[in-house]
Chain A
Amino acid sequence: MLYFIKKVALGLSKDRAALVCAIFITVVVLAAIVIPVVSHYDYYSHDADSKFLPPFTGGHWFGTDEFGRDLFVRVWHGVRISFAIGVLVAFIQMLIGTLYGGVAGIFGGLVDEVMMRFADVMYSVPNLVVVVLITLLMGNNELSVIFALSLTDWTTAARVVRGQTLVLKEMEFVQAAKVLGAKRPQIMLKHILPNCSGPILVNLMINIPSAIFAESTLSFLGIGIKPPAASLGTLVNEGFKYVNINYYSWVIFIPLLFIALIMISLNILGDALQKVLDSKS
């Protein structure tokens, strides 16, 4: 494990773009945790007197929206929700995927065939549709969005882990462990899982932005997080529905900018991680 962390740190420190992105993401996450707590505005109070204040007026750094709510706090609150959902969903996907793929890979044969065909079915059904159907059942709130998204996109992780397990199972060091007297669970824990951790981590890193992507799209369509609670997608959606983009463009473009920057940074980071872990040092 130590070796693994060292490898990642060393690899990332050589990639300047990835380093910048890592720092940016860290700052954004910290700010999203701190700012909504310390600010003397909150994200839900209306203020009829200060509607549509442009940025940097009246103590509102990002201005206010159609109800006079402080956008600075709303945006950071949105970042917080988007990140929380993204990370949580990606983690759950990783857990489900690793378990599912590991079991399929270790057992192989018919078990593997049936399990992977089912994963294929899940993969080919578009996640938006599944999420909509699930939110129909559970109502739209954070919990149902997390549940629905985790339930749909675990298949890539499962495929990756299963593929790795199948390859590793045939590797000579696993056979050597058998010759030394190791049983299946020992082999799984000691040899296969640690050697899968690279691809699993890469998959996790790729799944975070795609979960944020999916959540913000849902919220944008008005079928994700319900107002007044707001993810970045909801903010854009509200702006889109109620605000004339010609006059009050900041209400839409500030959250848009945040989504774009976060997505780009996370994607660059994911790519860099993949490159580091794929290379045979």
Chain B
Amino acid sequence: MNALLKIRDFSLFCGKNKILDNINMDVFEGEILAVAGESGSGKSMLARSVLRLNDPKKFKTNGIILFEEEDINALPEKRLSKIRGAKIGMIFQEPLSYLNPVLKMGVQLNEAPIRHKKVRKREAILLMEDLLEKLKINNPSAYMKSYPHQLSGGMAQRGAIAIAASCRPRIIIADEPTSSLDVITQASIIRLIKDLARVEGISVVFITHDLQLASRLADRVVIIEKGRIAEEGCIRKVFDSPKSKAASCLIRACMMGNFKKSKDSIDSKNSIIMKEHSVIKENKKPVLEVQNLSMHYKNGRGNIIRAVDDISLEVFEGETLGILGESGSGKSTLARIVTRIQKPLSGKVVFEGTDIFGRRDYPRHVQMVFQDPFSSIDPQMRIEDIVAEGMDMILGKNRWNRVEEVARCLQKVGLDESLKDRYPHQLSGGQRQRVGIARAVIMNPKIIVCDEPTAYLDTVSQMQILELFMKLKKENGISYVFITHNIRVLSSISDRIAVMLGGRIVETGRTEDIINNPVHPYTKILINAASLNEEESKGNAN
């Protein structure tokens, strides 16, 4: 096999910072190569360097990138633009932000073939429609006439794939092409990329933080850590016996809560089990009861959307109830009602026997941890004031042991006391999320509602935050209502799972039961889409 792309001693600098350090790697003809690393490891910068897309004013390079024996870094702009899009195609992470919002899809799709293949517009349209059909888009000509904002993320990503593939490039570089998509779409996009590569004989460089995903697709993997190549080799080998710390860390992160039964090929010692099953006694009384709750919205066209549709559920003392659902399933609305952010249309929520909207002391019992660590704490307040906010409101600013309590709480969530005088922008995402947790914990609540608390974090801090939740549960006996779309996370921490779809709960049960024997077809699809075993997902995930 021939190496199409050779990267030799390549380094990238931003000012004095070394972002990439002495990278040496090859991409061979027809292979699918995964490049894996934590966010911030420099893997995206590497991808962009291959097409020299980084701003030359900000970034300086060193070393060579050879494509078909030509050094990309030495090529004049004109020559380079004949490689970009024609011989090397690229797919990016958030498809909607990579499409021009004021141009119709057709215009954007046609650009590359018209430019590189020297075809007329009409031929380009035919060509692209043909390609779109291959990408399983039902009505290509309607698709070409739509604007990007009219498309879903998955549909837009198909368009981006079509653009990248339109000129039959030798290599497609896919930079986290599925991480902004939901699980089911993710599976089908992965499938499409794989088929495309096999059928057309295109090499694919698949850049990802999710090794498990990579292992479904790639032959070989290069693991990047802090701008350096930490490990390289056949993906099975790396997965089974990682040599570097970075690799095992990535594996640990994506294997977190690997729920597959023992027949799975993955060594069980790799999966970490964080959950400590609290046995729910059947005669125990529920702390929080949701009774026939409904919440409807009107959308722009005047249609009624049933965000929450006649839901009933119970939360028992000391348990973790997972609520699983895709975006738009109404799970966040449910969280907002349970925490009194908004009032329901009908039905009620009962806490320890009384309706929550009648209780003055409710904030002391039920608290919430939010999704986005960058918007969930007020940027102009000091950490101390943020953590103390709830108690200040109940007790008054000077009537409690403010300084000591805040310090104790910060310590409890694993933050240094000295952070209390800082402002949020001086903290990392993981630290901010801990502040958000401290703000809830200081109230000494019985229940904490967590709305996707790990969705914005990288895999390592994700794991640490989950560990923190479990620790707090053990120490303080807090119950959680844990809302997420991530079945892997749920399977590792929850005692029971409720599956939400279109505002309704379609299935409830103990975590093991749901994962091993899902009853509802939707649950089956979700579990299969997220599962490692490819053969199983074939049938369901499109």
Q: Is A264 an interface residue (CB 8 A)?
A: no
User: In the bound complex, what is the Cα–Cα distance between A281 and B423 (angstroms)?
Assistant: 11
Q: Chain A 261-281 against B: per-residue CB contact (8 Å), 1 yes, 0 no? A: 000000000000000000011
Q: Is B390 an interface residue (CB 8 A)?
A: yes
- Given A3-B423, A173-B376, A176-B368, residue A181 in contact with residue B336 (CB < 8 A): no
Most A CB within 10 A of own CB, among B362, B368, B372: B368
CB distance from A2 to the nearest CB of B (A): 10
Q: Chain A 164-187 against B: per-residue CB contact (8 Å), 1 yes, 0 no? A: 000000011101111111100010
- Given A180-B439, A281-B425, residue A186 in contact with residue B378 (CB < 8 A): no
Q: Is B347 an interface residue (CB 8 A)?
A: no
Chain A residues closer than 8 Å to B462, beta-carbon distance = none
Asked if B363 and A181 make an inter-chain contact with CB atoms under 8 angstroms apart, the answer reads yes
Asked if B377 and A173 make an inter-chain contact with CB atoms under 8 angstroms apart, the answer reads yes
Chain A residues closer than 8 Å to B367, beta-carbon distance = 179-180
**CB nearest to B423 among chain A residues:** A3
Chain B residues closer than 8 Å to A172, beta-carbon distance = 370-372, 375-376
Chain A residues closer than 8 Å to B212, beta-carbon distance = none
Q: Which of A4, A180, A181 contacts B380 (CB 8 A)?
A: A4
Q: Is A227 an interface residue (CB 8 A)?
A: no
Q: Is B532 an interface residue (CB 8 A)?
A: no
**CB nearest to A192 among chain B residues:** B378
User: In the bound complex, what is the Cα–Cα distance between A69 and B378 (angstroms)?
Assistant: 57
User: In the bound complex, what is the Cα–Cα distance between A177 and B393 (angstroms)?
Assistant: 10
CB distance from A266 to the nearest CB of B (A): 26
Q: In the complex, which residues 186-244 of chain A have their Cβ closer than 8 Å to any Cβ of chain B?
A: 186, 191, 194-195
CB distance from A173 to the nearest CB of B (A): 4
Asked if A180 and B423 make an inter-chain contact with CB atoms under 8 angstroms apart, the answer reads no
Q: Chain B 364-392 against A: per-residue CB contact (8 Å), 1 yes, 0 no? A: 00111011100111111000000001100
Using C-beta atoms within 8 Å of the partner chain, give the interface range for chain A. Answer: 10 to 19
Asked if B423 and A175 make an inter-chain contact with CB atoms under 8 angstroms apart, the answer reads no
CB distance from A190 to the nearest CB of B (A): 8
- Given A171-B375, A172-B371, residue A179 in contact with residue B380 (CB < 8 A): no
Chain B residues closer than 8 Å to A175, beta-carbon distance = 336, 339, 341, 368, 370
User: In the bound complex, what is the Cα–Cα distance between A280 and B377 (angstroms)?
Assistant: 15
Asked if B363 and A173 make an inter-chain contact with CB atoms under 8 angstroms apart, the answer reads no
Asked if B390 and A181 make an inter-chain contact with CB atoms under 8 angstroms apart, the answer reads yes
Give 11 new A-B contacts, CB below 8 A, not counting A178-B339, A280-B425. Answer: A172-B370, A172-B371, A173-B376, A176-B370, A180-B390, A180-B439, A181-B390, A194-B378, A194-B380, A195-B378, A195-B380
Top-6 shortest CB links A-B = A180-B390, A181-B363, A172-B376, A172-B370, A173-B378, A179-B339
Instruction: Please report B residues at the A interface, Cβ cutoff 8 Å.
Output: 336, 339-341, 362-363, 366-368, 370-372, 375-380, 389-390, 393-394, 423, 425, 436, 439, 443
- 9 residue pairs bridging A and B, Cβ less than 8 Å apart: A176-B377, A178-B341, A179-B340, A180-B443, A181-B393, A186-B393, A191-B378, A194-B378, A194-B380
